[in-house]
Amino acid sequence: MSTVNLVEKLYKEHNLSDSELKEILLTTDSEVDKTLQKYAQKVRDKVFGKNVYIRGLIEVSNYCKNDCYYCGIRRSNKNICRYRLTKEQILDCCKKGYELGFRTFVLQGGEDFHYSDDDICSIVSEIKSNFGDCAVTLSIGERSYESYKKYYDAGADRFLLREETSNPLHYGKLHPQEMSLENRIQCLYNLKEIGYQVGCGIMIGSPYQTVDDIILDLRFFQKFMPHMIGIGPFVPHKDTDFRDKPIGDLKLTLRTLGIIRLMINDVLLPSTTALSTIDPKGRILGILYGGNVVMPNLSPQFAKENYTLYDGKLSTGKESGEMVKELEKSLKNFGYSIEISRGDTPRK
Ligand code: SAM
């Protein structure tokens, strides 16, 4: 079967063998990319229409107790100006975002235990009581089942926690020994059991990753069936050991997105900031390969400048209103528009 036909088979059957998936991921045939885009768009348009969901990203803290080898905010980076937003600052970001039409706020940060469970619950419940028709997504790393349950009971709707890789040996090359893939995956299952809409994900091109690892990740997605999957290229950061490692491949990232859309039709798939960092057209390309979510940054300027996960991370001085207008314009050129709603999972 030709590789183009394999894409059609994936569209129809939502599954392929490992070697067939590998063929698509590594293709050099532009027809394969065209076909993948065509079917990814067809599926996305059928499930979600031409509307792109927006989530307002608020980078709450760049303090982190972890030392992930790839990440610019890892605890051992001494060349970083650490900050942490107060509840009032976070609520202010939400207020500005709400006025611009955002109905989901994503609170993301390093693993910063300065925020106690009570602090997090109080931030979540105040956002929910001030902005009743909004969803709150947390992305604050690994915590206990009990803590996750408290945040859920306080009103948190969704949680993003990338497993980063499904291969324990690969995980060990990206993280110090004190961190374990087992615990991370357990957290994902805990979140799902509690009732969150759960997002997991990986970086494409993280150091030592092989195409077989990506296939293993795809198998994990099929098994775990997350509501969202965050896929972005690895981008090196100058103050990490991986400073000289290459940037993740754009085409490989896009093909992974397209394959995921055909495998799990109703998954929420962001076109990530890292994608737009490595290519000026990255954001729209992500949409053309089946993405249906974008996450504009609502953080205060000082936070945007210091939440430096990787080099070159976009942190324009543009105020959020201008940013949303530009996004609307660029989506419109390709026939898409922004949807003003919480943008929950369509899965029952
Ligand atoms: N602390 C939370 C956690 O561990 O899930 C959320 C913050 S963490 C910085 C968010 C994501 O940034 C990570 O899951 C990782 O995939 C991504 N990230 C970190 N460093 C990166 C890099 N150098 N290139 C691309 N993405 C990166």
Does ligand 1 come within 6 angstroms of the Cβ of 275? Answer: no
* ipTM for this model: 0.99
Question: Is residue 344 in a domain?
Answer: no
CATH of the domain at 297: 3.20.20.70
Task: Tell me, yes or no, whether 77 and 121 share the same domain.
Answer: yes
Does ligand 1 come within 6 angstroms of the Cβ of 237? Answer: yes
DSSP secondary structure letters along 187-220: HHHHHHHHT-EEEEEEEET-TT--HHHHHHHHHH
Task: Tell me, yes or no, whether 243 and 118 share the same domain.
Answer: yes
Domain tally for the chain? 2
Question: Is residue 346 in a domain?
Answer: no
Judge contact between 330 and 283, C-beta under 8 A.
yes
Judge contact between 247 and 234, C-beta under 8 A.
yes
Question: Is residue 216 in a domain?
Answer: yes
Q: How far is the CA of 309 from the centre of ligand 1 (A)?
A: 7
Q: How far is the CA of 71 from the centre of ligand 1 (A)?
A: 6
Task: Tell me, yes or no, whether 286 and 245 share the same domain.
Answer: yes
Is the model's pTM score more than 0.95? Answer: yes
Supply the pLDDT for residue 321: 76
Domain range for 31 is 1-42
Q: How far is the CA of 4 from the centre of ligand 1 (A)?
A: 33
d(CA 96, CA 89): 11
Q: How far is the CA of 5 from the centre of ligand 1 (A)?
A: 35
Does ligand 1 come within 6 angstroms of the Cβ of 274? Answer: yes
Annotated binding residues, as ranges?
64, 68, 71, 139, 164, 184
d(CA 203, CA 164): 6
Task: Tell me, yes or no, whether 69 and 166 share the same domain.
Answer: yes
Judge contact between 249 and 233, C-beta under 8 A.
yes
Question: Is residue 345 in a domain?
Answer: no
Degrees to nearest 5, angle at CA 22 with 20 and 27: 100
Task: Tell me, yes or no, whether 262 and 282 share the same domain.
Answer: yes
Task: Tell me, yes or no, whether 59 and 202 share the same domain.
Answer: yes
Task: Tell me, yes or no, whether 82 and 139 share the same domain.
Answer: yes
Task: Tell me, yes or no, whether 258 and 285 share the same domain.
Answer: yes
Task: Tell me, yes or no, whether 33 and 106 share the same domain.
Answer: no
Q: How far is the CA of 310 from the centre of ligand 1 (A)?
A: 9
Does ligand 1 come within 6 angstroms of the Cβ of 58? Answer: no
> How would you classify residue 92: left for phi > 0, otherwise alpha for psi between -120 and 50, otherwise beta?
alpha
Question: Is residue 333 in a domain?
Answer: yes
Task: Tell me, yes or no, whether 1 and 145 share the same domain.
Answer: no
Supply the pLDDT for residue 342: 96
Task: Tell me, yes or no, whether 31 and 61 share the same domain.
Answer: no
Annotated binding residues for S-adenosyl-L-methionine, as ranges?
164, 184
Measured over the CA atoms of residue 19, residue 47, residue 297 and residue 337, the dihedral's sign is: positive
Question: Is residue 347 in a domain?
Answer: no
Does ligand 1 come within 6 angstroms of the Cβ of 296? Answer: no
d(CA 112, CA 65): 6
For 195, residues 6+ apart whose C-beta sits below 8 A from its C-beta are 152
Question: Is residue 114 in a domain?
Answer: yes
Q: How far is the CA of 13 from the centre of ligand 1 (A)?
A: 32
Question: Is residue 11 in a domain?
Answer: yes
The residue whose C-alpha atom lies closest to atom 4 belonging to ligand 1 is 141
Does ligand 1 come within 6 angstroms of the Cβ of 108? Answer: yes
Does ligand 1 come within 6 angstroms of the Cβ of 207? Answer: no
Task: Tell me, yes or no, whether 211 and 280 share the same domain.
Answer: yes
Q: How far is the CA of 130 from the centre of ligand 1 (A)?
A: 29
Does ligand 1 come within 6 angstroms of the Cβ of 111? Answer: yes
pLDDT in tens, the chain (348 residues): 999 999 999 999 999 999 999 999 999 999 999 999 999 999 999 999 999 999 999 999 999 999 999 999 999 999 999 999 999 999 999 999 999 999 999 999 999 999 999 999 999 999 999 999 999 999 999 999 999 999 999 999 999 999 999 999 999 999 999 999 999 999 999 999 999 999 999 999 999 999 999 999 999 999 999 999 999 999 999 999 999 999 999 999 999 999 999 999 999 999 999 999 999 999 999 999 999 999 999 999 999 999 999 998 876 667 777 888 888 999 999 999 999 899 999 998
Mutate to test the pocket of ligand 1, among 61, 71, 308 (most ligand atoms within 8 A of CB): 71
